[in-house]
Amino acid sequence: MQQLHWLNQTMYPFRSHFLKLDAGRMHYIDEGQGPPLVFVHGTPVWSFLYRDMIKELSKEYRCIAMDHLGFGLSDKPANWGYRPADHAHNVRALIEHLGLEQLALVVHDFGGPIGLSYAIEQPENVTQLVVFNTWMWSLKGNAEAERVSNTMGGQLGRILYQRFNFSARVLVKMVMADQRKLTKEVHQHYIKATTKPQDRQGMWRLACELTGSSEWYDGLWQQRERIRDIPVLLLWGMQDLGVKGEIFDVKRWQNLFTNQKTVLFPDAGHFVQEEEPQRSTQEIAAFLSSAKPVPV
């Protein structure tokens, strides 16, 4: 892969791998050895979001983190659907390509329904779940979700997303509770991952799919019993605007799972990984260790 001048190799010191898909090459990192731990991101970020966790957790786990097509270091094809269901298909393709067995999933934002769809399809192959601010139910009828999806998914939103890189430049910072924790250098790694307007289609398409894929989300939610007994760690930033609008409703998750631990971050926003990287990593390490399957 061509060296990227904006990519800080100290912050993101990982070897790049690529999975060739029909639509293009999907970039992923594969670090460490041990039980597999798969990280699934949302928008407008990429695997860079999980960098601090991977540096630490890869000492005991095999950490795999993909960049969805249209994000990060992956290809950004012009003619592809970019629906959550399409990304979910690619996540499964990567897991099967790597032959991962008895894996744990870490999901966030759109990565929630995208990653958890695999757990619903293959619950016997998922040992633990780590869930940051996300959802997995239809958002039709949710006033905030419909407002965002209608505005950002329309022509104005398309201009903002594709011409001005609004999602990476503005929204990432807007949903941080403490914007000082998003340093300029870190922020540039989200902005410069999609330098051309045509590269930003993936971000805009997901904005459309906040409510546009409601039927697919509802289909997942209707099968939620398939994952209810998987041990789960819920890590929730309580200053997230989506929490206030009940898009990211932690109580729904708490009521679903029979074996759950919840850690609330009262002073963190949507990106707990950026605002509380040390504590959230410690919580994940402790959870994975306590929930680790006992060898037969």
- The percentage of the chain sitting over the pLDDT mark of 70, rounded to a whole number, equals 97
124-147 pLDDT, tens digit per residue, is: 999 999 999 999 999 999 998 999
Specify the pTM: 0.96
Average pLDDT over residues 166-187: 96
Average pLDDT over residues 20-40: 98
Task: Delineate the domains of the chain, giving CATH numbers in brackets.
Answer: 16-138+214-290 (3.40.50.1820)
Distances (CA, A) of 140 to 145, 202, 290: 8, 22, 37
According to the model, what pLDDT value does residue 149 have?
87
Query: In this structure, are residues 40 and 66 in contact, taking their beta carbons and an 8 Å threshold?
Result: yes
55-82 pLDDT, tens digit per residue, is: 999 999 999 999 999 999 999 999 999 9
Confidence category of residue 153, pLDDT binned at 50, 70, 90 = confident
pLDDT at 293 over 60: no
